[in-house]
Amino acid sequence: AQKVTQAQTEISVVEKEDVTLDCVYETRDTTYYLFWYKQPPSGELVFLIRRNSFDEQNEISGRYSWNFQKSTSSFNFTITASQVVDSAVYFCALSEMNRDDKIIFGKGTRLHILP
Amino acid sequence: EAQVTQNPRYLITVTGKKLTVTCSQNMNHEYMSWYRQDPGLGLRQIYYSMNVEVTDKGDVPEGYKVSRKEKRNFPLILESPSPNQTSLYFCASSLWDRGTDTQYFGPGTRLTVL
């Protein structure tokens, strides 16, 4: 069965610090997708990234970076030089490659960036 | 402007009274989906659709129906709502295309079933 674990329920860091959000997944499939989403205090959901299991290259987008390691079944998300606007709940998720839109979510990590 | 709209945004209803939450997207996306969000349980997918007339169950489809008669619309139907369907519901529209993956969510519908 598929499962996504975000062991960090809540994290607080001081602004400008780097922070890494952990995501560990379980799947019997050899091909799958991994996702990250952001939900700020205002409540909307924001898609951040989708990465397929064939592509283990790290991804960087501005201050955001993602580290995919198949060997440890992890897809961690790092925010560099955090800002107060990064305060949000972040969800990691997983889907099977042949069922693109059937997505299983982790329980989320609430990130507080302290000024 | 890329947009996913949901209506209503807030709804209080009573057990057993059929209701429909509408979802519409203006991006011509093939994929659409419904999620519910509950404290302590996080986000769970209810149904998804890969194209017109193609739908499939997510994790928690019981008590819900969907239809996809046109690409832009993906309504969520609760034939006989019960209190355990009180939740925050999100609709999403997706384009999954290597290099241009994107997904947009509606603003959410807060449903209370008494």
Residue in A45, A92, A107 to test binding to B, most B beta-carbons within 10 Å = A45
Work out the average pLDDT over A65-90: 96
Task: Name which of A101, A102, A104 to mutate to probe chain B: the one with the most chain B Cβ atoms within 10 A of its Cβ.
Answer: A101
Is residue A24 within 8 A of residue A7, CB to CB? The reply is yes
Q: What is the pLDDT of residue A99?
A: 63
> What pLDDT, on a 0 to 100 scale, did the predictor assign at position B40?
86
Chain A partners of B92 at a C-beta cutoff of 8 Å? 45
**Mean pLDDT, to the nearest integer, of A57-75?**
93
User: How far apart (Å, rounded) are the C-alpha atoms in residues B28 and B93?
Assistant: 9
**CB spacing of B98 vs A43 below 8 angstroms:** no
The answer to whether A61 contacts chain B (CB < 8 Å) is no
In what helix (H) or strand (E) does residue B23 lie, and over which residues does it extend? Answer: strand B19-25
Confidence of residue A100 (pLDDT cuts 50, 70, 90): low
* Residue A66 predicted with pLDDT over 70: yes
Contact A100/B50, CB-based, under 8 Å? yes
Residue-level pLDDT at A98: 67
Residue at B51: amino acid letter = N
Please say if the pLDDT value at position A78 is more than 90. yes
From first to last of its 114 residues, chain B has per-residue pLDDT tens of 889 999 999 999 999 999 999 999 999 999 999 999 999 889 999 999 999 999 999 989 999 999 999 999 999 999 999 999 999 999 999 998 877 889 999 999 999 999
Closest CA to B97 of B29, B42, B39: B29
Rounded to an integer, the average pLDDT of A31-52 is 94
Q: What is the pLDDT of residue B62?
A: 96
The pLDDT of residue A1 is 75
The answer to whether B59 contacts A104, with C-beta atoms less than 8 Å apart, is yes
Which residues in chain A have Cβ-Cβ distances shorter than 8 Å to B58?
A: 102-103
Confidence (pLDDT) at A49: 93
Q: Check B56 against A49: CB less than 8 A apart.
A: no
pLDDT at A71: 92
SS3 for B83? helix
Return contacts of A58-67, CB within 8 angstroms, 24+ apart.
A66/A36
* Residue A84, both tokens: 């107060």
B51: CB partners within 8 A, 6+ apart: B30, B31, B68, B71
Nearest to A110 by CA among A49, A48, A50, A38: A38
